[in-house]
């Protein structure tokens, strides 16, 4: 698929294209991994997205999908990466104890996350998850050079290589933070987990998505499900499309699929969402977009 701005979407097994900007989905699920015969096509791993900008690696969230990314990077060394976390619910960090790049001395990993509704630090949160009896080995076994930096939602900062990052707080129990990455005129927005308020235009979501080339958005629920799960902190594909139009965004990538949505349900959502808005696609493991 090629759109008017030259974005290409593909499903590849091994995908370093050499292009300036590349995005690859390693986990598109929310809440809980759900592998099995009914989810093979869209995948069962939780949130993890690989973004390459000018050769620099940015990892969005460390859900169970990061295991596949780790396997792909097995022979890459040294690795230097920025890991940006949307928030600290397990589905977004559960892969980090198995993030093999963190166990290699020659690698450099910078973890960043927003100060949300908690009084412990990012490092303390990850250390807590990686401590007995929850997990047998402590975060101190990370051999890579690591840093753990916090910021306030709304802050902007620059990553090495000239990648500009803007952030906004999202509407989610306990808080969450969305990202807008800009490099070489290409903008990728990562907007999960967030609940919309019907009839209101989310200023935060729109600011992140404004004119973006690709938006990854929390489309956990159908409209019908949304009514049942008000307050759970998630949105819908219909709202994704509405916001994408308002923001003048190009490709909308529906993300954070509900674990109960098997491949047949996701196929239906893909058709309905694309009928509603042609430039909307559904995230699946192995989806690659390049610019």
Binder of Zn ion out of 22, 61, 82, 91 (CB under 5 A):
91
Minimum CB–partner distance for residue 269 and Zn ion (Å):
18
Whether the CB-CB separation of 240 and 219 falls below 8 Å is answered with yes
Minimum CB–partner distance for residue 288 and Zn ion (Å):
22
Q: Tell me how far the alpha carbon of residue 105 is from its chain's centroid.
A: 26
Q: Does 166 bind Zn ion (CB under 5 A)?
A: no
The site for Zn ion, by CB under 5 A, has a size of: 4
Minimum CB–partner distance for residue 234 and Zn ion (Å):
8
Beta bridge partners, 255, equal: 218
- What CA–CA distances, in Å, run from 174 to 90, 114, 289? 13, 11, 31
Exposed / middle / buried, residue 146 (Cβ in 10 Å: 0-12, 13-18, 19+): middle
* Shortest-Cβ-distance residue relative to Zn ion: 89
Among 265, 274, 276, 290, CA closest to 29:
265
Q: Does 257 bind Zn ion (CB under 5 A)?
A: no
CA gap 191, 170 in Å, rounded: 8
CA gap 26, 29 in Å, rounded: 10
Q: Does 89 bind Zn ion (CB under 5 A)?
A: yes
Minimum CB–partner distance for residue 142 and Zn ion (Å):
23
Q: Does 195 bind Zn ion (CB under 5 A)?
A: no
Exposed / middle / buried, residue 275 (Cβ in 10 Å: 0-12, 13-18, 19+): exposed
30 vs 33 by CB, closer to Zn ion: 30
CA gap 204, 167 in Å, rounded: 9
Binder of Zn ion out of 193, 213, 258, 262 (CB under 5 A):
193
Q: Does 30 bind Zn ion (CB under 5 A)?
A: yes
Whether the CB-CB separation of 38 and 263 falls below 8 Å is answered with yes
CA gap 215, 144 in Å, rounded: 31
Minimum CB–partner distance for residue 74 and Zn ion (Å):
27
194 vs 222 by CB, closer to Zn ion: 194
Minimum CB–partner distance for residue 89 and Zn ion (Å):
3
CA gap 213, 255 in Å, rounded: 16
Minimum CB–partner distance for residue 12 and Zn ion (Å):
26
Residue span 42-81 as binding mask against Zn ion, x where in contact by CB under 5 A, dash where not: ----------------------------------------
82 vs 91 by CB, closer to Zn ion: 91
182 vs 204 by CB, closer to Zn ion: 204
Contact positions vs Zn ion (CB under 5 A): 30, 89, 91, 193
């Amino acid at each position: 698929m090629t759109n008017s701005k030259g974005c290409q979407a593909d499903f590849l097994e091994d995908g370093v294209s050499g292009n300036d900007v590349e995005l690859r989905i390693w986990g598109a699920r929310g809440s809980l991994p759900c592998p099995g015969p009914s989810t093979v096509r869209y995948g069962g791993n939780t949130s993890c997205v690989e973004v390459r900008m000018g050769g620099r690696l940015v990892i969005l969230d460390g859900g169970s999908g990061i295991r596949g990314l780790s396997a792909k990077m097995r022979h890459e060394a040294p690795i230097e990466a920025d890991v940006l976390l949307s928030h600290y619910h397990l589905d977004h960090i559960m892969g980090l104890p198995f993030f093999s790049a963190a166990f290699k001395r020659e690698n450099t990993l910078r973890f960043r996350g927003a100060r949300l509704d908690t009084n412990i630090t990012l490092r303390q949160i990850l250390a807590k998850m990686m401590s007995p009896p929850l997990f047998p080995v402590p975060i101190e076994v990370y051999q890579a050079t690591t840093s753990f930096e916090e910021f306030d939602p709304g802050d902007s900062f620059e990553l090495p290589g000239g990648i500009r990052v803007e952030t906004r707080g999202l509407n989610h129990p306990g808080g969450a933070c969305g990202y807008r990455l800009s490099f070489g005129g290409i903008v990728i927005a990562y907007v999960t987990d967030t609940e919309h308020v019907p009839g209101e235009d989310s200023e935060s979501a729109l600011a992140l998505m404004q004119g973006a080339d690709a938006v990854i958005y929390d489309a956990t629920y159908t409209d019908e499900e949304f009514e049942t799960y008000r307050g759970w902190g998630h949105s819908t594909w219909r709202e994704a499309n509405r916001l994408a139009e308002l923001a003048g965004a190009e490709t909308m990538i529906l993300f954070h699929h509900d674990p109960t949505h098997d491949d047949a349900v996701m196929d239906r959502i893909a058709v309905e969402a694309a009928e509603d808005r042609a430039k909307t696609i559904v995230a699946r493991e192995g989806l690659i977009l390049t610019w």
